Amino acid sequence: MNIINFTRDYDADFVSRVEEESGQKVSLCYQCGNCTAGCPYTFAYDIPVSQIMRLVQAGQKKTVLSCKSIWLCATCESCTTRCPNNIDVACIMDVLRHMARREGLAAVPHVKTFWDAFLDSVRAHGRVFELGLTVNYVLKSGRFWTDLDLGPKILPKGKLSMTPHDIQGKEHVARIFERFERESNS
Amino acid sequence: MSEAIAYYPGCSGQGTSKEYDASTRAVCEAVGLSLVDIPDWSCCGSTPAHTKDHTLSAALSARNLQLVAGMGMKLAVTPCPSCLTNLRNATHRMEQAAFKSKVDKLLDEPYTGGVDTQSVLQALVEIVGIDNLAAAVRTPLKGLKVACYYGCIMNRPPEVMAFDDCENPMAMDNILTAMGATVVPFPLKVECCGAAYGMPRPDMVGRLSGKLLEAATLLGADMIAVACPLCQMNLDLRQGQVNRTLGTNYRIPAPYFTQLMGVALNIPDAQIGFDKLCVDPRPILSKALTGAD
């Protein structure tokens, strides 16, 4: 069991930022554990979701933002759907990874690399170019064996395009990303 | 009478889920839902966008909602639950003026509003209706035992998705029953398949999709009918990886529910696209259909 020194470690600003960005009241959580009971990813998490809720209440910014769980949550919405106090737990998990990104933290780097490769593809083409995304992820992650076994299964199906389908309004989509970056840095 | 609705295929509909897109279009046409493509639609950003920032995610969706408004339409449907969850979350969050003004700052023009979004599944059940779907059946799927798998976000969270039961949805069960199939009471209808972690964490998909394949097998289902391109990919294309992770030997077809509808509605094979799947449903399907006579 971890012992937390509230006087020394409680980060009030962190708690209010999570509440503001998620629109949720974290103090409503009474630790029933329903979210963890239904969470399909507990087996892979380093901290179960109900304990993340408790750590957020306790203002433990560093522990929460550097944990693996926030990068392994698939937003399956089981926790949000089943919370007896109507806390949007999945939204809080989303907000925690937004904050982790801003702090330069990503405890499961391959997941962030995959998501970034996806968004790079959207930004460049307006739509996701699936084969290009795969190649980009493999190059960035250095995991050259990724899905090699799937190539012979999917390529003969004639579903994967070898070239991207750029949309006419791709500059509009790129501008959304540019403005987002400008707003985030201002 | 044909009802015209804006159609958002989603990126996978042009690639890994081509057969979902083709069978959706054919089924909708056969039952009188007229789908009109959204001109120059763009990606909703899917999971990667909402895990990065909610304003960015909503802006990527809002560009498409605005295109629907520009068509003079008030309703758009999409076959993909991930697209749907982003489009609906964007609409839901933009009801708050402060959030909407942040989204508008990222767009060329502010979003004018007034567009609702639904899944194709919802439109089939609520606009066409089960009775009309049943009346369109030409080849009943008699003798076919199906586990209906909705995926985790088609109905959740209920406040945002506002469709069917969030723990025990029945829309697909009712449709495939109307098509003549026997649906098994599948307890994992809304359990997550491992989502987009197939590439970075295939072990997680192995464990979660493995549970679905196991439950369907134990229930004696011939196949798992799905409604999500990502679920379909995990259950079908990655079924071999699941088997290797778990030391199992499953070989269960996981066609889209629209493909099974296509069989019942006598839609041509080219539009059903069973040849696009890794585990071919046709041998089991023809055995079931002929065995029932």
> Region A21-38: what's the mean pLDDT?
98
Q: Is the pLDDT at B293 greater than 60, yes or no? A: no
Structural tokens at position B33: 């839902």
Any idea where the domains of chain A sit in the sequence? Answer: 6-102, 109-185
> Cβ contact (<8 Å) for B153 and A76?
yes
ipTM of the complex: 0.95
pLDDT tens-place string over residues A150-165: 989 999 998 988 888 8
Residues A6-102, CATH architecture: Orthogonal Bundle (1.10)
> Cβ contact (<8 Å) for A153 and B41?
no
pLDDT tens-place string over residues B224-242: 999 999 999 999 999 999 9
Query: What whole-number distance in Å separates Cα of residue A56 and Cα of residue B203?
Result: 29
pLDDT tens-place string over residues B60-91: 999 999 999 999 999 999 999 999 999 999 99
Residue labelled with tokens 């402060």:
B98
A76, A81, A130 member nearest B195 (Cβ): A76
Chain B residues with CB inside 8 Å of A177's CB? 56
A72, A158, A179 member nearest B105 (Cβ): A179
pTM for this prediction? 0.96
Q: Are B32 and B58 in contact (CB under 8 A)?
A: no
Percent of chain A with pLDDT over 70: 99
Chain A residues with CB inside 8 Å of B167's CB? 81
Q: Is the pLDDT at B36 greater than 70, yes or no? A: yes
pLDDT tens-place string over residues B128-166: 999 999 999 999 999 999 999 999 999 999 999 999 999
Instruction: Give B237→chain A minimum CA distance, Å.
Output: 7
Q: How many Å is the maximal CA-CA distance in chain B? A: 62
A-contacting residues of B 70-89, CB under 8 Å?
none
Percent of chain B with pLDDT over 90: 95
Q: Is the pLDDT at B115 greater than 80, yes or no? A: yes
> Region B251-264: what's the mean pLDDT?
98
What mean pLDDT is reported for chain B?
96
Q: Is the pLDDT at A84 greater than 90, yes or no? A: yes
Q: Domains (ranges, CATH) in chain B?
A: 3-121 (1.20.1050.140), 140-281 (3.40.50.11810)
pLDDT attached to residue B1: 43
